[in-house]
Amino acid sequence: MTARPVPVTTVETKPFWDGTRQHDLCLPQCVQCGYLHYPPQPRCRRCSAQDMTWTTLSGRGRLWSWTIVHLPSLPGVEPPFAICEVELEEQDGLMFVALADVAEHDLATGLQVEVRFAEDENGTAYPQVHRP
Ligand SMILES: [Zn+2]
């Protein structure tokens, strides 16, 4: 199996990946209005302010939707696997996307989940959706 690709960081995403190394889910939060953003944005989607601060979130949320991928399409991840969309508890409508570490038959809309981190052989920590 090919290795999972190493994330390429940008100015906007580096704090996110720095947080994953500590097993923290960190997202940018608008200093002006408090709105949280995922994926990271250089400017607030709600008020257009450019000042952001990085906030560590609980990682807790509810499963909103998912899809099961049966074809080999993500290097380093053996199919089948589930890609989950989780609404994080810190903000209504704040959706986070990650692979599931939950059995397919246990996936259900509204399921309480949390984001944890799993390290690959290169030490890169990737977020995963787990049951608490
Ligand atoms: Zn704002």
pLDDT of residue 1: 66
Residue 26: Cβ within 10 Å count: 17
User: How far apart are alpha carbons 63 and 111 in whole angstroms?
Assistant: 5
Q: What is the mean pLDDT of residues 47-62?
A: 97
Distance 44 CA to ligand 1 centre (A): 5
pLDDT of residue 121: 82
Q: What is the mean pLDDT of residues 59-74?
A: 96
Residues with Cβ–ion distance below 5 A, ligand 1: 30, 32-33, 35, 44, 46-47, 49
What pLDDT band is residue 3 in, cutting at 50, 70 and 90? confident
Tell me, rounded to whole angstroms, the distance of Cα 99 from its chain centroid.
8
Distance 71 CA to ligand 1 centre (A): 39
- Among residues 84, 27, 98, 99, the alpha carbon closest in space to that of 58 is found at 27
pLDDT of residue 4: 85
- Among residues 84, 107, 105, 81, the alpha carbon closest in space to that of 96 is found at 84
pTM of the entire structure? 0.91
Q: What is the mean pLDDT of residues 96-112?
A: 94
User: How far apart are alpha carbons 89 and 54 in whole angstroms?
Assistant: 17
Share of the chain above pLDDT 70, in %: 99
